[in-house]
Amino acid sequence: MSISLDGELSMDDLVDLACEGVEAELSDEVRARVKEGRNTLEELIDETDRPIYGVTTGFGDLVREEIPEEKRRDLQGNLIKSHSAGVGDPLSEETVRAIIALRVNSLGRGNSGIRLSVLEQLVELLNEGVTPYVPEKGSLGASGDLIPLAHVASILIGEGRAYYEGELLPAQKALGRAGIDEIALREKEGLALINGTQAMSAVLALGIPEIRKLVRYADVVGGLTTFILGGNFAQYDSRIYELRPYESQAQVAKNLRKLTEYDPENYCPSNVQDPYSIRCAPQVHGSVRMALSHLSEVVKTEINSVTDNPLIFNNPKAVVSGGNFHGEPLALAADYMKIGLSELASISERRVNRLLHPELNGDLPAYLAEDPGTNSGFMLAQYTSASLVSENKSLASPASVDSIPVSGDQEDHVSMGMHGAKALEDIIKNVRKALSVELISACQAQEFAELALTEPLKDIYRLVREDIPPVNEDRELSTLINRGSELLKKGGFLEEISEKYGIS
Catalytic residues: 53
CB 481 within 8 Å of CB 380:
no
Cβ neighbours of residue 305 under 8 Å, at least 6 residues apart?
106, 197, 324
Distance between CA atoms of 230 and 218, rounded to whole angstroms?
18
CA distances from 428 to 341, 347, 407 (A): 8, 15, 34
Q: Please report the DSSP string for 454-502 in residue order.
A: -HHHHHHHHHHHTTS---SS----HHHHHHHHHHHHH-HHHHHHHHHHT
Q: How many CB atoms lie within 10 A of CB 57?
A: 16
Q: How many CB atoms lie within 10 A of CB 345?
A: 28
CA distances from 490 to 210, 485, 487, 495 (A): 10, 9, 5, 10
Q: What share of the chain is helix, strand, coil (3-state, %, to 5)?
A: 60, 5, 35
Count, in order, helices (H) and strands (E) of the chain. 19, 9
CB 20 within 8 Å of CB 2:
no
Alpha-carbon torsion (344, 350, 355, 361), positive or negative: negative
CB 327 within 8 Å of CB 229:
no
Q: What angle do CA 299, 305, 308 make, to 5 degrees?
A: 120
Cβ neighbours of residue 12 under 8 Å, at least 6 residues apart?
none
Q: Please report the DSSP string for 255-323 in residue order.
A: HHHHHHT--GGG---SSS---HHHHTHHHHHHHHHHHHHHHHHHHHHHTTS---SSEEEETTEEEE---
Q: Which of 396, 405, 323, 332 lies closest to 140 in space, CA to CA?
A: 405
Q: What is the DSSP letter of 132?
A: E
37: helix, strand or coil: helix
Q: Please report the DSSP string for 100-113 in residue order.
A: HHHHHHHHTTS-S-
Distance between CA atoms of 330 and 198, rounded to whole angstroms?
11
